Amino acid sequence: MRAGGLAASSIMAALVCVATIFIIVPIPATQGYFNVGDAMVVVAALTFGPLVGAAAGGIGSSLADIIMGYSFFAPYTLVIKGLEGLLAGWIYSRGRGPLMMLLAWLAGGAIMVTGYFVVEYSILGYGAGAFVELPFNMVQMAVAGIVGIPVSMALKRRIRIYRSA
């Protein structure tokens, strides 16, 4: 990873962590929580690409888990949110435009929703609790796209202006 990618990954990981901590709604059925950090995972992936998306999503989100006392989720979050950012960034890097943004967001969000469901149902053994968290994760995914896509578009316009100056 180039120095610019390392800097972008570090900044975006910090922003993902802060956004995750900013709004937390505990979900007792799984000992997990609803948050808006996925919006910044989408911003990182769509603005800077798959490697920054993966690093920011995985590291920033798992740091938030640790800071907020959900450390038992941190290893799963590192992988799930890392894959979310990686896939969204990779899909968007294959073609530009609004349709590719939507496809990237939906694919990344599907990884997040499916990943947590599988972990909570199969690995952590929450059973029916995993079904309770499913709608929360779907709303979390929706917020990620509703907020993350326009923020990424605006940020890319500003970066383009900065680079041309």
Domain that holds residue 10: 3-164
From the list 61, 58, 80, 57, the residue with the least C-alpha distance to 70 is 61
Share of the chain above pLDDT 70, in %: 95
Amino acid identity, residue 36?
V
Q: Report phi then psi at 125, rounded to 5.
A: 70, 30
HSE (side-chain half, CA atoms, 13 Å) at 101: 19
Mean pLDDT value across residues 112-135: 95
Residue 165, pLDDT score: 45
Residue located via tokens 């995914």? 141
Mean pLDDT value across residues 136-144: 97
- Read off the CATH number of the domain in which 12 is found: 1.10.1760.20
pLDDT in tens, 70-118: 999 999 999 999 999 999 999 999 988 889 999 999 999 999 999 999 9
Q: How many domains does the chain have?
A: 1
Mean pLDDT value across residues 8-31: 94
> What's the chain's average pLDDT?
93
Which helix (H) or strand (E) element contains residue 38?
Answer: helix 38-48
Residues 6+ apart with CB under 8 A from 105: 42, 46, 88, 144, 145, 148, 149
pLDDT in tens, 33-55: 999 999 999 999 999 999 999 99
- Per-residue pLDDT for 3 more than 70? no
Which helix (H) or strand (E) element contains residue 5?
Answer: helix 3-22
